[in-house]
Amino acid sequence: MNEQEIKTIRQSLEIMGKRSQALALMFYNRLFRLDPSLRSMFRTEIDVQAEKLMKVLAVLIGSLERFDTLRPTLRYMGSCHAGYGVRPEHYRTVVQALLETLEEVVGTRFSEAMRVAWTKVLILVSNEMLEGAAGAAAVKATAGTMG
């Protein structure tokens, strides 16, 4: 990501201000409307899950200049999510739900530059997590052939 895209993402967070918990809850509501089957993957209360999401987003946004340092964590998260039953198509649904929620929360100030920057970062994150999921599947397949 370039410096302007990072600045744009952070600017959108400033516009949201203290509405981050509301954004997370709106995101999950939208996600479950887009794909109701995803609801069963969540074992914790949605308020707790929303708080976790916002913490992860805060770390991500705070580390965008050092995205390479996030790769191992994102890949690990991807392998964990694969264990929960998350499939590649679910990542597209998550990206769609988050973009639509951001647009709703930011309102008329959600610019095309914001959409592009958020899309870019969400695809970067998704790709790293999918790499982790693929690696976990490969290890599992290899272990299965050894037994």
Mean pLDDT calculated for residue range 117-143: 84
The H helix count followed by the E strand count for the chain is 6, 0
Is 24 in contact with 53 (CB distance < 8 Å)?
Answer: yes
pTM, two decimal places = 0.88
Q: Which of 118, 98, 125, 106 is nearest to 7 (CA)?
A: 118
Distances (CA, A) of 146 to 106, 135, 142, 143: 52, 17, 6, 5
On the question of pLDDT at 58 being above 60, the answer is: yes
Mean pLDDT calculated for residue range 57-77: 93
CA distance 62 to 83: 27
Class of domain 3-146: mainly alpha
Task: Write the pLDDT tens digit of every residue in 89-102.
Answer: 999 999 999 999 99
Q: How many residues does the chain have?
A: 147
Is 9 in contact with 117 (CB distance < 8 Å)?
Answer: yes
Task: Write the pLDDT tens digit of every residue in 99-110.
Answer: 999 999 999 999
118 contacts: CB under 8 Å, gap ≥ 6 = 9, 12, 98, 99, 102
Residue for token pair 């999401």? 53
On the question of pLDDT at 139 being above 70, the answer is: no
What residue segments make up the domains of the chain, in order of their start?
A: 3-146
